[in-house]
Amino acid sequence: MVLPLLKLGTLALKTLSKPVANRLKQQAAIHPRFRQLIIDMAQKNHRFTTQMQRRIYGHATDVEIRPLNEEKAVQAAVDLIGELFVFSVAGVAVILEVQRSARSEARKEEVRKQELEKMRQRDEDIAREVELLKQKLEELEHIAKGRGLSGMFHFKQSNTDNEKPAKPA
């Protein structure tokens, strides 16, 4: 019951993080200092990805890479910020899920250890009881050897054994 609700909560968190990311995008495009910062970030990202693509496809990498115009740079940066935010929220949700699962497994392992300890203790108790019974049996066997078999059971002779049978008439 808890697991489906947790997964539903995680899905809701991811879904709600997208509008927050869009709001971040809008605010990032408005503020002048932040706008310049994200433009610089977008230009560096553009140069890096273009060089990587050129290397992958075997093209020359010593050519000059034209910078993005300001609007494309802002759009690329806010898209990157939005995706990073959504990815971060999803990553945190995964980390929390793994931790919850690990705690659950640790609890299960602790229960298994306790059950194993109980069984081990019961085994030891039974072993002690068997040893005690063996000792008692040895004592009884020793007593029986000393007295004979009938001495062990303390048979009482009945009065009928002492009386002589009546003579038939």
Give the pLDDT confidence of 9-53 residue by residue, as tens digits.
767 766 777 777 677 667 766 788 888 888 898 899 899 999 999
Rg, Å, the chain Cα set? 44
Confidence of residue 159 (pLDDT cuts 50, 70, 90): very low
Contacts 24+ apart (CB under 8 A), 67-71: 67/43, 68/42, 68/43, 70/39
Contacts 24+ apart (CB under 8 A), 123-127: none
Contact 79, 29 (CB under 8 A): no
Contact 20, 28 (CB under 8 A): no
Q: How many CA atoms lie within 13 A of 11 on its CB side?
A: 6
* pTM for the structure as a whole: 0.52
Residue 84's closest CA among 149, 153, 20? 20
Give me the pLDDT at residue 61, please.
Answer: 76
pLDDT exceeds 80 at position 88: yes
Token output for 23: 């709001």
Whole-number pLDDT of residue 167: 55
Q: What is the pLDDT of residues 103-146, one digit of tens each?
A: 999 999 999 999 999 999 999 999 999 999 999 999 988 888 87
User: Would you state the pLDDT for residue 118?
Assistant: 97
Residue with tokens 């303390």: 154
Question: Which CA distances in Å does 18 have to 22, 51, 72, 89, 104?
Answer: 6, 30, 21, 10, 30
Q: Which amino acid is at 113?
A: K
